[in-house]
């Protein structure tokens, strides 16, 4: 497979005027693109990966400096390579990037970096797609989009315009030194928002954290990390979010060795929790009255996992240590009992807002009929409604684990199988064709004879 990959890479010269023909083009070389390439390599499918930046760029420059993976390294990895760390440790982000680079090297993945795919259209008169890139044109029979679940940072329209406040998305946050003196409002308390808020508080900044609906698993319970619990309880494999929970974020962190996110504890340490951010007017921000409800629903989620874990242990007769203290609830802090509904930012000394409000996808370059009328990719486990187009790495692509490191590897395997099967159909020759094939060498000989 290594030789095939090298040959393919050599055929893509990227020279103007030269058209490369390839079976499968993978767009993006994050973890999804690398996983896809590994599975296609194993199946002997000629393919090329184009990456506009570097391998695993999101892990290099798309995240804050101190980020470590949210899952321990025994879990957040591909099957074929282990991290050089204690299995229960959480890998720093640069190590995660290095891991995917090393992984790609393992099988000589045919990745060309620094090349952007700018347009994909279906061919009108022949199978496949014409792909325009920043380095020439490619004809591909199939295109796999591995461009990530989190492409375009989203700041909601309520964000105030102008003014003296620094506003950045969590994707642009690097470290506390980057912010001006003064307090910070962090909007959004998923894994990014809560970790950034905690880091800023530890750096001595007054922090307001706007907390919406969230799931809040225990970091670990009865000696097992929550990644293990979600695995054995089948929760990573859930095919769709529970109704009403489609937009619920998950608050979890591997920082400081990995601790359960407890919003009340953060409040006791000095963070001011507020409800969902509602609006801004004349320098005053208003919050919803939902803080206590959001915390209570997060608690419910937390306790439901403990209950499910206890039941699993009892049912399977496992010998795992009891942990009654995990059910201890911190007293309701003042900011929850009497929540702030309005905050005058200048009076409170808030000089920055960090919008940890998530991301959208951008498929403007993929000009094929693979989207519904709302622009959402139409697919079944990544196999698009447009034959030959595949989506990988999207939230809930096949299940809850689909955007995560280990999950994307399994989704890629399914897509690679589908591609290999389609190639078998394409290669099928009926009896007449087989006969013609059988006759062909004779013909050649006779032609040679004539010549």
Ligand X SMILES: Cc1cc2nc3c(=O)[nH]c(=O)nc-3n(C[C@H](O)[C@H](O)[C@H](O)COP(=O)(O)OP(=O)(O)OC[C@H]3O[C@@H](n4cnc5c(N)ncnc54)[C@H](O)[C@@H]3O)c2cc1C
Interacting residue ranges for ligand X, rule: CB under 6 A = 27-33, 50-53, 57-59, 63, 67, 69-71, 76, 116-117, 146-150, 192, 365, 393, 403-405, 408
Q: Which is nearer to ligand X, 190 or 298 (CB)?
A: 190
Q: Which is nearer to ligand X, 66 or 422 (CB)?
A: 66
Q: How far is the CB of 133 from ligand X (least distance, A)?
A: 7
Any idea what the Cα angle at residue 99 is, between residues 72 and 32, rounded to 5°? Answer: 90
Minimal distance, residue 306 CB to ligand X, in Å:
22
CB of 118 to ligand X, least distance (A): 7
Best CA proximity match to 367, nearest among 23, 122, 19, 50: 122
Q: How far is the CB of 327 from ligand X (least distance, A)?
A: 26
For ligand X, the closer of residues 24 and 31 by Cβ is 31
Q: How far is the CB of 179 from ligand X (least distance, A)?
A: 18
Sign of the CA dihedral with 157 first, then 159, 160, and 161 last: negative
* H or E element that contains 147: none
Name which of 51 and 386 has its Cβ closer to ligand X.
Answer: 51
CB 212 within 8 A of CB 249: yes
In whole angstroms, how close is the CB of 345 to ligand X at the nearest point?
26
By Cβ distance, which residue is nearest to ligand X?
30
- CB 273 to ligand X: min, Å: 21
Give the Cα separation of 76 and 201 in Å (integer): 28
Looking at beta carbons only, is 60 or 264 nearer to ligand X?
Answer: 60
Choice between 70 and 384, CB closer to ligand X: 70
Rounded to the nearest whole angstrom, what is the least distance from the CB of residue 207 to ligand X in the complex?
Answer: 18
3-state secondary structure 355-405: ECCCEECCCCCEECCCECCCCCECEECCEECCCCEEECCCCCCCCHHHHCH
Of the candidates 174, 146, 30, the residue with the CA atom closest to the CA atom of residue 96: 30
Nearest to 47 by CA among 31, 59, 34, 56: 34
**Which DSSP string corresponds to 228-257?**
HHHHHTT-TT-SSPPTT-TT-EE----GGG
Nearer to ligand X, 49 or 291 (CB): 49
- Round to whole Å and give the CA distance between 106 and 38: 9
Question: Please, are residues 129 and 121 in contact by the beta-carbon 8 Å criterion?
Answer: yes
Residue (118 or 443) nearer to ligand X, CB = 118
């Amino acid at each position: 497979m290594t030789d095939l990959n090298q040959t393919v890479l050599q055929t893509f010269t990227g020279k103007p005027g030269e058209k490369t023909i390839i079976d499968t083009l993978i767009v993006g070389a994050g973890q999804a693109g690398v996983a896809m390439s590994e599975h296609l390599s194993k199946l002997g499918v000629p393919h090329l990966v184009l990456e506009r930046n570097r391998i695993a760029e999101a892990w290099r420059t798309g995240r804050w400096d101190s980020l470590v993976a949210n899952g321990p390294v025994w879990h957040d990895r591909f099957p074929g390579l282990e991290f050089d760390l204690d299995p229960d440790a959480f890998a720093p982000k640069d190590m995660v990037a290095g891991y995917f680079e090393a992984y790609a090297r393992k099988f000589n993945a045919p990745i060309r970096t620094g090349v952007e795919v700018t347009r994909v259209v279906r061919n009108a008169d022949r199978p496949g797609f014409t792909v325009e890139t920043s380095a020439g044109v490619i004809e591909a029979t199939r295109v796999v989009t591995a461009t990530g679940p989190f492409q375009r940072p989203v700041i909601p329209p309520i964000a105030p315009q102008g003014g003296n406040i620094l506003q950045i998305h969590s994707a642009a946050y690097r470290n506390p030194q980057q912010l001006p003196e003064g307090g910070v409002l962090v909007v959004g308390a998923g894994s990014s928002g809560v970790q950034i808020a905690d880091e800023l508080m530890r750096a001595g900044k007054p922090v307001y954290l706007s907390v919406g609906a969230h799931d809040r698993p225990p970091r670990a319970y009865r000696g097992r990390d929550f990644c293990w619990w979600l695995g054995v309880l089948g929760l990573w494999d859930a095919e769709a979010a529970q109704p009403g929970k489609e937009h619920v974020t998950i608050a979890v962190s591997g920082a400081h060795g990995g601790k359960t996110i407890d919003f009340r504890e953060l409040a006791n340490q000095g963070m001011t929790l507020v409800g969902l951010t509602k609006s801004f007017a004349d320098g005053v921000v208003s919050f919803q009255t939902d803080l206590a409800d959001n915390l209570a629903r997060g608690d419910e989620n937390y306790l439901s996992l403990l209950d499910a874990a206890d039941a699993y242990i009892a049912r399977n007769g496992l010998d795992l240590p009891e942990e009654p203290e995990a059910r201890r609830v911190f007293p309701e802090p003042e900011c929850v009992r009497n929540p702030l509904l309005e905050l005058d930012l200048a009076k409170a000394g808030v000089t920055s807002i960090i919008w940890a409000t998530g991301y959208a996808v951008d498929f403007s370059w993929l000009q094929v009929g693979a989207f519904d009328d709302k622009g959402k990719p139409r697919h079944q486990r990544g196999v698009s409604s447009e034959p030959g187009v595949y989506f990988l790495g999207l939230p809930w692509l096949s299940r809850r684990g689909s955007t995560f490191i280990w999950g994307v590897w399994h989704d890629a395997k399914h897509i690679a199988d589908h591609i290999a099967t389609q190639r078998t159909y394409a290669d099928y020759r009926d009896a007449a064709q087989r006969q013609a094939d059988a006759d062909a060498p004779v013909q050649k000989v006779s032609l040679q004879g004539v010549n």
